Amino acid sequence: MAAHPGALVVSVTAGRPGPHPLTEWDRRCGFSEGDDVVGRRRQEDEIALEHLGASALWLDFLDRQYADGKPPERDDVAAAIRAAVDGGELVASPLGLEHPDHLVTAQACFDVARSLPSVRWIIYEDAIYRSTPGAMEEVVSRLADAGYSLRPLQVESADAKRAAVTCYASQVHGLGGLLDDAYQPERYWDLVIK
């Protein structure tokens, strides 16, 4: 994002849930019963993205913690992403490691990439999930089976990342020992469609 001022950041699972009990993750992040958790996270998004010169688009899909553990439907996410990136030239997508919401988002992005061959897709590894043993190899194998490959990109480390991550105060609180990984630069690849 630092290299592309004015970027649009699409948060897929940013929907507001109806009344629900406080989840364990939200409790770890310092929230209490009845707090507007999603509203607070959207405020944190705005602060971080303003710092990076980007803007937010929040989709209404529910995070799985608010949807009985189920991530959103892949086809629905793909349709929303296709509408969000329509007319764009460059899209960055998570690789899709471990977390079910990340997996669905990445799979939907790969579907959209196949249908929009004129758009350049950059893939980034998912912070905090990238250290899971075997996760990277599993995803690369799955992508190869689906007709995709990844070509490594050299991306300069962005000093602004640490400051942007810190803007997500509730998440920083919840991450605990995983925060060090969140501060580290990601690896990036060009998506190649065979």
Q: In this predicted structure, what is the pLDDT of residue 50?
A: 93
pLDDT at 17: 95
Query: Is residue 2 domain-resident?
Result: no
What pLDDT does residue 53 have? 92
Q: Which residue, 189, 66, 177, 182, is CA-closest to 122?
A: 189
Is the residue at 114 inside a domain? yes
pLDDT tens sequence across 21-40? 999 999 999 999 999 999 99
Does 75 score more than 90 pLDDT? yes
Alpha-carbon distances, residue 8 vs 20, 46, 103, 112, 149 (angstroms): 30, 11, 21, 17, 25
Could you tell me which residues come within 8 angstroms of residue 193 by beta carbon, excluding any fewer than 6 positions away? Answer: 113, 114, 117, 147, 148
Residue 123's domain spans which residues?
8-193
User: What is the reported pLDDT for 97?
Assistant: 93
Q: How confident is the model at residue 65 (pLDDT cuts 50, 70, 90)?
A: very high
Give start and end residues of each alpha helix (H) in the chain. Answer: 24-28, 37-52, 74-85, 100-115, 135-145, 160-166, 169-175, 179-183
Between strands 55-58 and 8-11, the pairing is parallel
Question: Considering the chain, what percentage of its residues have pLDDT values greater than 70?
Answer: 99
**In the prediction, which pLDDT does 38 show?**
97
Q: How large is the average pLDDT for residues 159-166?
A: 87
Cβ burial 22-53 (10 Å sphere, 16+ → b, else e): ebeebeebebeeeeebbebbbebbeebbeebe
Averaged pLDDT score across all residues of the chain:
93
Please say whether the beta carbons of 191 and 110 come within 8 A.
yes
CATH code (residue 66):
3.40.50.10320
Per-residue pLDDT band at 156 (split at 50, 70, 90): confident
**Looking at the domain assignment, is residue 1 inside a domain?**
no
Q: How many domains is the chain partitioned into structurally? A: 1
The answer, yes or no, to whether residue 131 has pLDDT greater than 90, is no
